[in-house]
Structures are given as structure tokens and as C-alpha cells.
Amino acid sequence: MNNSLLEEIDRSPEIIKTFSKKQLEKLCQEIREKIISTVSINGGHLASNLGVVEITVALHYFLNIPPDRIIFDIGHQSYAHKLLTGRLKRFDTLRKYQGISGFPNPSENETDLFLTGHAGTAISSALGIQTVESLKGGKARTIVVIGDGSLTNGVTFEGLNNLGSSKKNIIIILNDNNFSISRTRGALSYYLTKLISMPVLTKSKEEIKENLEKIPGLGGQIVKVVENIEQKTRYLIVPGIFFEKLGIKYFGPIDGHDINQILDVLKNIVIYQGPVLLHAITRKGKGYKYSEENPEKFHSVGPFNVKTGEQLAEKASTGFFVGSVLEQLGEKHEFFIITSAMEYGLGFDRFAKKFPDRFFDVGIAESHSIIFAAGLVKAGKKAFVGIYSTFLQRTYDQIFHDVCLQNLPVVILIDRAGIVSGDGPTHQGIYDLAFLQTIPNITIFCPYSMKNLRETLELAIKYDRPVAIRYPKEPLAEDVQKIVKGGRILCLATGSIAYNMSQACSDLNEQKIAVDFIPVNRVKPLQQDVVDVLSGYKKVITCEEAIVSAGFGSNVLELCNEKFQNIRVLKLGLPQTFLQTGSRDELLKYFRLDRDGLIESIKNFYSNE
């Protein structure tokens, strides 16, 4: 592959300003090739990144970054930006341990302003930054790139509302591909589609010009801008009433893959004072046959064969298993399943097909999903809400206020609990246990095997109080057995890490170091069989794939503090830190939670008087 333009830019990013339109198009081609070849080896958000190549190149050509800045909402689509800001040589380490992050990361480069990975934050952070810029009397621009999926997020709405009244000069580029991971859901998406397909103006052009001319001081200038855009694009200016009512000027729709058109429009709209939204239509997965055909599968994909589009190792996941158990249970029991735009990741797609009336994808709206479930349950139905652990952080107050305070038996399925490979600190699922434990009325299960998980799901259907069930991405072991042989110390491990602990304990017993082991499912309130046996030991070790503060081990320690003060407790787990990128195995090894690390900790505690 000839990477020449990218290599030139890698040596000096400003050189992009000297490129001809033809060269910019060639640059886009090079970027696509680099992204496809790298993601085919390392995995990553392929389709989202291929869809924003022209927008990103146009912005780098047009802006002076820094001091100008681009803020990508979520940031999963920032690969082209990384390639244009001096990270070409390290790009092969994308999503690897100590490599380039799959999301913006200021420690890699100053043009990545925030370390992000959750939806809906870009408009608010841009507004904060631009507020200071205007206080300083500065001229630097802030441009937000946001997908139509993220636009539906509640935090985005709060930002838009504030932005409209603030009158700050921010350009939002709406990257509208009509997909979040699956098709974007909800009324706003329907509205955007209507805007795109509207063949004629709802108001006459003259009427629009008349209205614009009335804007004091600026109207005439804006009319020129509008005329200019009309001449230079094939598109008419459709009044985006929704945005206009919020105080945000709407321009578009334009072709988000036509660099000339993007640049022409940008040149014109920058003179407009106040917030502007430029609606760009893009194709998710653009430029690679297989991702264009199947943008859902290639939204976030593991290693694949570039020639055939086939994934090299399509791994099973615990979520897939949960989906199939719920599909079976759905035959016998009437319950609803709710997801926030994660139907496939959570393994709910087959349930959704089979029981379309009992499945709701509410868009990227985790907080809403919990309260919606509370409403369904209050009205007499059973509801499961599936959320990744990291996004559950958005719902603390709804679990507290709308579910637990009301003592409503909503079942929260927490997928991706524990260490998450590849995505880095924004996606680790290691805090849920600690923050849920503080809430009264909730019962928390951390199943340690597939068998145990199935039993827990069956139990949850009948439960009459709020329930959380946390499980990892990678498949749990089929079964994990107790070892109770009168050992000198008791090892307790919950959830996904129980398997490693059982292996470590078996090894130690073979070495004639007598340790007992019990896998633990219910951590709050602590399951009775564990409480019952504790008094028989002088030393207890706990282990969890979560931060060690305020987790399962802390429950055991508190219990010992109350009732069994002669027992010494060693808590193992993850430190209270932001875990960096790496695979689960690499990070478990680093934190000594792999089999060898656990053996060492148990031995030390065993021999230590």
C-alpha cells in the first residue's frame, strides 16, 4: 500500500492545507485502507470510522488544530483524526496493551481533548470550552462531530438546550447514517429521516430569506451565506424546525462523503454567529463492501479476513447465553426486555425477533430505560433491563430513586461486568458492585458459572424485589465446584473470577496446602451458606473482578467485624483505579488475579501467622 500522503502528514500535520482536492480524496482512500487493515488484525469500531473519513479530513483541512478543536461524541469514530495527528507509526498498536487507544486520549495527543467513550457528552464539553474562549475574547473554534445515535441521548438534549440559549459559536456536524449500532430508534430519528427525504421547502425560499433578513445586524449576510450554500450544493436549505426552535441554526442535508461540498458549506457557515448544526448524510461502513452491507456486525468487530469479511474467531459470549435462556423462558413467562441501543451486544436479537411486542430498544437512553422498566413493573408486568456495566454508571439515581426506593422488582442485567478487553478505561465494568452495594433493597447476584447463571435468571423472574445480575463478556465456566475438606483457610470468590480461584485452590491442595473454596453467587445480602461456615475458619480470602473497595470482600469483612472478630480477612480484587487498555488476561496477570498470582497471594496469607 502506498501511504505517501498519510506519511507526509505524519511528519507535519499542517501540510494537509497545501493539498489539492484530488489529493484530499486520495488521502481519504489511504486512511480507509489503513483503518481496514489495522482493524482486521486488532478489532475495533470499523463501520463508524469508515463513515466519517471525509468529514474528518475536511475539518483538518479547514481548521487550525490546535488552537481549533474537534470533539467527537463518544470518540469511537476518531481513528482518522488519530492518523492525521501524528499517530500513524503507532497505529498498529490500536487497542493493544500500552498501545494507541480506540478512543480519544489526551495522554496520546493534545488534540484529543477528553478521554471519552460514553455517548452524549460532546456538546456540553464543547460549550464549556467555547464559553471560556469567548470570555478570553479568543477566536479558536470548537466543532462537535456527533452521530444520529448519540443525538438521541438525554445528555445531548441537555447540552443542546443550553447551547441554543448560550448563543456560542459552535458548529455541530451531525453525522447521520441512520444507525447507532442497530437502526437508530425513536421520534428524533424519524424526524431526521423526514428532513432528508423532504423534496421541497416547506416554506418558500423567499419567505426564509425574508425572515433571515430580519435578524438585526446579520440578516443580510446570512441570506448571502444561504444563497451561496444553495448555489454550491445541490441541496435546498430545509428548515430544521426542531433545531431552530432550540436556537440552533440548521443547515443541510449535505453529502458527508463529498469533501468539496463539506468544505464549501463550512466556509460559508463559519461566518454565522451562534450555534449551527450541519446535517451530513453518511453511509456507515463506507468504502468497504462488507461493512457497507452489514454495518451492525462491523460497528465493533473482532479480527476479520479483509478479502472475505469473515470474522476470524467469532467468540461466544455470556450475553449470548443469557439471550438464549431468556428466549426459552419467554415461552413460559410473560416478561419484557429493554435495551439502550445494545440489542446485539447483549445477545437479545433472537428474543426481539421472537417476541417483538415484548422487546424495547429505547435508543442510547440508559437512565430512561430504568425508569421505563419501573413503570412497566408498577403497572403489573415483569421487566428485565440489559445494560453494560460501564453505562450502568449513568443510572445510579434511577436505580436508587425509581426502582429501589419503590422496592420494584425490576431485574437489571449487567453485561460486560469485570475487565473488558480492548476498549480501555471508559469501558471497564469494575465499579458497579461498589456503587450498587450502597443502595438499600437491591439484591446483587454475581453468577460464577453458566449453570449458576441460568438458575439465577430463573429465580429472578419470580423475585419480588429489585435484582441486579452481573456477568462478564467472556463465557463463564460451565460449572465451578466447591472444595470443602477442612482446609486451614477459606477462599471465597464471586462471579467471573471464581473459576481462577477454584483452579488456584485445586493446585494448592495438590501441593498439600489445605485450602477450602466456595464460589459465591449472591453477594448482597451475602448468601447464607457462606455466613454459616465462616466461624469455622481463622483466615478467609475473598476475591472479585471489581474494585476491591466497597465490594464483595468488604461485605465479608463487615460481617466479620460485626460477628466474627477473630477471623482475619484478605480482600483480593482490582485497585480503585482507571484500568488502561489491554486484554482481560493481560490485565488479570498484571493485577495478580490470574491463577499464578492467586496461588502466590494465598500461599503468603496461609503461611503468614
Ligand X SMILES: Cc1ncc(C[n+]2csc(CCOP(=O)(O)OP(=O)(O)O)c2C)c(N)n1
Which residues are known to be catalytic?
284, 366, 394
Closest distance between ligand X and the C-beta of residue 505, in Å? 37
Q: 118 vs 539, which CB is nearer to ligand X? A: 118
Closest distance between ligand X and the C-beta of residue 80, in Å? 12
Q: How many CB atoms lie within 10 A of CB 353?
A: 10
H/E element, 520: strand 515-520
Q: 367 vs 449, which CB is nearer to ligand X? A: 367
Which residue of 70, 74, 238, 593 would you call a contact of ligand X, by CB under 6 A? 74
How far is residue 87 from each of residues 2, 74, 75, 95, 100, measured CA to CA in Å? 17, 19, 16, 13, 8
Q: 146 vs 593, which CB is nearer to ligand X? A: 146
Pairing status of strand 411-415 against strand 276-281: unpaired
Q: Which residue has its beta carbon closest to ligand X?
A: 147
How far is residue 421 from each of residues 98, 113, 334, 498, 604, measured CA to CA in Å? 13, 23, 35, 19, 29
Residues 6+ apart with CB under 8 A from 492: 517, 518, 519, 520, 530, 540, 541, 542, 543, 552, 556
Q: Residues, the chain, total?
A: 609
- CA dihedral sign of residues 132, 138, 140, 144: positive
Binding region for ligand X (CB under 6 A) out of 70-78, 164-172, 331-339, 561-569 = 70-78
78 residue type, one letter = S
14 residue type, one letter = E
Closest distance between ligand X and the C-beta of residue 176, in Å? 8
Quick check: 148 binds ligand X (CB under 6 A)?
Answer: yes
Which residue of 76, 81, 297, 368 would you call a contact of ligand X, by CB under 6 A? 76
Closest by CA to 556, choosing from 545, 542, 537, 538, is: 542
- Do 171 and 141 contact (CB within 8 A), yes or no? yes
Alpha-carbon distance of 390 to 402, in angstroms, equals 20
Q: 147 vs 424, which CB is nearer to ligand X? A: 147
Closest distance between ligand X and the C-beta of residue 187, in Å? 16
Quick check: 391 binds ligand X (CB under 6 A)?
Answer: yes
Burial of 97 per CB tally in 10 Å (0-12, 13-18, 19+): middle
Q: 149 vs 347, which CB is nearer to ligand X? A: 149
Quick check: 582 binds ligand X (CB under 6 A)?
Answer: no
Closest by CA to 398, choosing from 360, 370, 365, is: 370
Binding mask 302-341 for ligand X (x = CB under 6 A): --------------------------------------xx
- Do 69 and 122 contact (CB within 8 A), yes or no? no
Which residue of 177, 398, 437, 502 would you call a contact of ligand X, by CB under 6 A? 177
Quick check: 77 binds ligand X (CB under 6 A)?
Answer: yes
If you write DSSP's letter for every residue of 361-395 in order, what string do you get? E--S-HHHHHHHHHHHHHTT-EEEEEEEHHHHGGG
Residues 106 to 145 in contact with ligand X, rule: CB under 6 A: 117-119
* Three-state DSSP class for residue 568: strand
Which residue of 284, 297, 358, 382 would you call a contact of ligand X, by CB under 6 A? 284
Q: 42 vs 175, which CB is nearer to ligand X? A: 175
Quick check: 65 binds ligand X (CB under 6 A)?
Answer: no
Quick check: 360 binds ligand X (CB under 6 A)?
Answer: no
Binding region for ligand X (CB under 6 A) out of 5-13, 178-186, 233-241, 449-457 = 178-186
Q: 156 vs 456, which CB is nearer to ligand X? A: 156
Sheet with strand 467-470: strands edge to edge = 359-361, 335-339, 382-388, 411-415, 467-470, 443-445, 522-524
Q: 40 vs 291, which CB is nearer to ligand X? A: 291
Quick check: 56 binds ligand X (CB under 6 A)?
Answer: no
Closest distance between ligand X and the C-beta of residue 426, in Å? 8
Quick check: 189 binds ligand X (CB under 6 A)?
Answer: no
Q: 38 vs 395, which CB is nearer to ligand X? A: 395
Quick check: 369 binds ligand X (CB under 6 A)?
Answer: no
Alpha-carbon distance of 21 to 36, in angstroms, equals 23
- Could you say which DSSP state residue 400 is in? I
Which residue of 88, 280, 364, 457 would you call a contact of ligand X, by CB under 6 A? 364
Quick check: 301 binds ligand X (CB under 6 A)?
Answer: no
H/E element, 516: strand 515-520
- Do 573 and 548 contact (CB within 8 A), yes or no? yes
Burial of 267 per CB tally in 10 Å (0-12, 13-18, 19+): middle
Closest distance between ligand X and the C-beta of residue 365, in Å? 9
Quick check: 180 binds ligand X (CB under 6 A)?
Answer: yes
Quick check: 149 binds ligand X (CB under 6 A)?
Answer: yes
Closest by CA to 56, choosing from 31, 20, 23, is: 31
Quick check: 422 binds ligand X (CB under 6 A)?
Answer: no
If you write DSSP's letter for every residue of 21-87 in order, what string do you get? HHHHHHHHHHHHHHHHHHHHHH-B-HHHHHHTHHHHHHHHHHS-TTTSEEEESSSTT-HHHHHTTT-
Binding region for ligand X (CB under 6 A) out of 73-81, 241-249, 472-480, 595-603 = 73-81
* Three-state DSSP class for residue 295: coil
Closest by CA to 310, choosing from 296, 291, 324, is: 291
Which residue of 40, 42, 48, 555 would you call a contact of ligand X, by CB under 6 A? 48
Quick check: 181 binds ligand X (CB under 6 A)?
Answer: yes
Binding region for ligand X (CB under 6 A) out of 71-79, 189-197, 317-325, 568-576 = 71-79
Binding region for ligand X (CB under 6 A) out of 27-35, 58-66, 148-156, 498-506 = 148-156
Alpha-carbon distance of 606 to 609, in angstroms, equals 8
Closest distance between ligand X and the C-beta of residue 519, in Å? 31
Closest distance between ligand X and the C-beta of residue 581, in Å? 16
Site for ligand X (CB under 6 A): how many residues?
A: 25
Quick check: 399 binds ligand X (CB under 6 A)?
Answer: no
Which residue of 40, 150, 339, 601 would you call a contact of ligand X, by CB under 6 A? 150
Q: 112 vs 544, which CB is nearer to ligand X? A: 112
Interface residues with ligand X (CB under 6 A)? 48, 51, 74, 76-77, 117-119, 147-150, 175, 177, 179-181, 284, 299, 340-341, 364, 366, 391, 394
